[in-house]
Structure 1
Amino acid sequence: MEQQQLPVDIETDIKKLPVGYRFNPPERDLILNYLINKILNRPLPSNAIKDIHFYDFDPDQLPIGKFSSYCKPNLAYFFTQVVQGRRTTKSGGHWKESGSDEQVWSKDDKIVGFKKSFVFYTGEEKSNWIMHEYRVNPGLILADESNKPLKSKVTSLKSSYSMN
């Protein structure tokens, strides 16, 4: 099977973090400072999260190692469109839900979003790959009938890593 290539040059497109710093924001900050800003076309605090068609790739094709200079080892963050139903890759593997939605809370005790965990399977064989999907609480963004274009842009944030 032909291997897919990522459409971004991750190594050269990352703003450098100071020595000793890692990109490791709390979940609430991922939602409040990255995901909401992405949905609303606002500037992001950093370009550490890349846009990809996440389900075009099996997890071993994702360039997680290229994130090692500024993320925790074996960890990477990606923006992608929300997928309804089965989350299948082009090669036929799939991400299977593992548990139920967890609420993500702000410092002032408001639900800012949701986190769902998935495990990657090739056929019926479970892998060591885990993905966390973050979604914004729709109540934080006005999404009434007059805002249909915004509804169609809803994006999710993926945090993928290997449990090697």
Structure 2
Amino acid sequence: MEISMSWKKYLKMSNLKKDIENRADVSHLVRSFYSKVRKHETLGPIFNQIIDDWDTHLERLTDFWEMVILNTGPGAGKFNPVPVHKEVDNFTGNRIQQAHFGNWLELWFNTLETSFEGKNTDFAKEHARRMAHILFFRIMERRTSKV
């Protein structure tokens, strides 16, 4: 008799974690993470107000994180998150604060640590940390250049 079970069920049953190895893993990460973001008391209203088509957005973010974490996929050379985040800050009336990025990182780390561990997982954490700092800096830079 052949026993077939998804890795997700296996991980829940065994409490084992694996590293991020392929697009399916990245998609699981992105979808789990943004499910939390959408429900978050501070981040949810911002994201839900701006994003109309979540399916398309999640695919695009899966492309982005696949490129970042695995250096593969359709996202290579297609993404610069800085302009989009500057637009979001402008749209919200310059209300994006450093605490928002702290909330984002907390959810990102929690989501990673729930399902994954390993070299790629650690890289995903470090890249997100650097990206949050850069995005916040660029947002503040845009605000001061308007003065």
Q: TM-score, normalised by structure 1?
A: 0.23
In our comparison, the structure showing a higher alpha carbon Rg is 2
Q: TM-score, normalised by structure 2?
A: 0.24
